[in-house]
Amino acid sequence: MADHDSAHNDVRPRTAVLTRGFDPGLSFGSARPAVFRASTYVFPSPEAAEHAFAITTGKIKPAPGERADLIYSRFSHPNSEILEDQIVPLEPGATDAAVFNSGMAAIMTALLAVLRPGGSVVYTTPLYGGTTGLIHFLEPWGVKGIPVRSGDSKALDEAIRSAKDCCAVLLETPANPTLIMTDIERAAESAARHPDRPAVMVDNTFLGPTFQHPLLLGADVSLYSGTKYLGGFSDILAGVAIGKSLDLVQKMRSRRNMFGNILQPDECWLLNSRLPTVSLRMNRQSKNAQRLAEALEGHKQLSSVIYPTLFKDPEQKRIFEKQCAYPGGLFSIDFKGGKAAAFDFLRNLRIARSAVSLGGLETLTCHPKSTTHSGMTGPELAESGVTDGLVRISVGIEDWRDLLADFEQALAAI
């Protein structure tokens, strides 16, 4: 559990993730944390219970380095604390993190920690479908959603500048499934000039925590569907919010106490065990995806291959080079033959499977227009570039030559 040990602050993320956050002395010396499946915690005295509640409810500030005694597992538990401490070093510029039982739970809780009735949230489109649904759900409750098309930096500056009672700026970059990028630093600068000082939140699921570091670019919160690359094995649902300031994370935790959407001990343990390999996996997935995307570029069945190293728009190239260390494990292909060709391709794949979600060890493919993006209206689909022939591919860690052979035989079968 938490030993906020300064001894490990001077090492790099990949080392810190293995050395920080877990004290074997608190788990009978076991090399891996135990799983604490308790719903409630025993106090040594009534005074201790009173003190723990005073800290948890914010009546008193903890002493430097002090952590409130555990009370009840909806608030926190040893495995959530270990996971939160261990994930912080993976996000440069972070001070604290809060874990949730899904990515949507993290996004909802982060937004509700900063939104006020009558307040506005400026957001890039397309966003993950669930997130768009959440913003539309909040509108009748008095929240104003202000959409801006991804990659349109001028429109984003202007939307932020003119937003009244602006509580949050929510970016998702790269966008799904077109990989259009938004300049995080520029958006954060616009937000910093706004008198309301809106919180800048970035859904960093696609390229973080390995290849894109929003907090270093001025964002306040980095949000994750831990279900994807962090979890990495397509076997858990999880969400994480990682913050630059302790205050904001504490606000999210107090909402989490109320909503009851903390990540449970077993899932925390699982996600915890995946953290040290996230950069290994993502590096391999990115290398595989780059080889595949570049090999398929120009194929006679395809009208385009969408991948950051193949960007043609100078502004998109500039953003990619400035804010992403590597291009990542996702790419999309657009079929000249539209939906029929896309479906033929999907039907004929032998290694890559057809499923939504992404970021797992295995290669997954999907047809966004008929699945993940089927809730969008015609104009929304057109504006976000989700065409009939578009297929999204989440590349796994298989040998890339086998994947390429699989894609080539499925393309030949159209």
Ligand X SMILES: *Cc1c(COP(=O)(O)O)cnc(C)c1O
Residues that bind ligand X (CB under 6 A): 102-104, 128, 130, 172, 176, 203, 205, 225, 227-228, 237, 239
The set of residues, in sequence order, having a beta carbon less than 8 Å from that of 343 and lying 6+ positions away, is: 367
In the complex, the smallest distance separating the C-beta of residue 45 from ligand X, rounded to whole angstroms, is 40
Length of the chain: 414
Radius of gyration of the chain (CA): 22
Q: Name the residue nearer to ligand X (CB basis): 105 or 411.
A: 105
CB of 315 closer than 8 Å to CB of 156: no
Six-digit token pair at 365?
């493919």
- Closer residue to ligand X, CB minimum distance, 293 or 330: 330
Residue 380: which residues within 8 A CB-CB, separation 6 or more? 125, 126
Q: What is the identity of the amino acid at 325?
A: A
- List CB contacts of 414: < 8 A, sequence separation 6 or more: 301, 335, 337, 341, 344, 345, 348
Query: CB–CB of 238/263 below 8 Å?
Result: yes
CB of 169 to ligand X, least distance (A): 16
State phi, psi for 144 to the nearest 5 degrees: -100, 120
| Cβ neighbours around 389 below 10 Å, total | 22
Q: Between residues 267 and 406, which has the closer beta carbon with respect to ligand X?
A: 267
Nearer to ligand X, 358 or 403 (CB): 358
Q: Taking the complex as a whole, how short is the minimal distance between the CB of residue 187 and ligand X, in angstroms?
A: 17
Distance, in Å, from the CA atom of 275 to the CA atom of 81, rounded to the nearest integer, reads 14
Q: Can you name the residues that pair with 202 across neighbouring β-strands?
A: 171, 222
Output the smallest distance, CB 266 to ligand X, in A.
Answer: 16
Q: In the bound complex, what is the minimum distance in angstroms from residue 110's beta carbon to ligand X? A: 11
For ligand X, the closer CB: 73 or 176: 176
From the CB of 123, what's the least distance to ligand X, in Å?
Answer: 12
User: Strand order in 221-225's β-sheet?
Assistant: 96-100, 239-243, 221-225, 199-203, 166-172, 120-125, 144-149
Read off φ and ψ for residue 169, nearest 5 degrees.
Answer: -120, 120
Hey, what are 214's tokens? 């929003």
Smallest gap from residue 208 Cβ to ligand X (A):
10
CA-to-CA dists, residue 395 to 98, 287, 339, 357, 398, angstroms: 28, 9, 21, 11, 8
Give me the residue whose beta carbon is nearest to ligand X. 103
Nearer to ligand X, 51 or 281 (CB): 281
Q: Which is nearer to ligand X, 92 or 130 (CB)?
A: 130
| Residue 237 or 341 with smaller CB distance to ligand X | 237
325: helix, coil or strand? coil
Q: How far is residue 383's CA from residue 389's CA, in Å, rounded to a whole number? A: 15
* Residue whose CB is less far from ligand X, 1 or 232: 232
State how far the Cα of 331 lies from the Cα of 174, in Å rounded to an integer.
11
Given the complex with ligand X, which of 176 and 212 has the nearer CB atom? 176
DSSP E strand stretches across 220-286: 221-225, 239-243
Distance (Å, whole) CA 146 – CA 22: 42
Please state the closest distance from residue 60 (CB atom) to ligand X, in A.
Answer: 34
What's the min distance (Å) between Cβ of 234 and ligand X? 11
Kindly state the smallest distance separating residue 9's Cβ from ligand X, in Å. 30
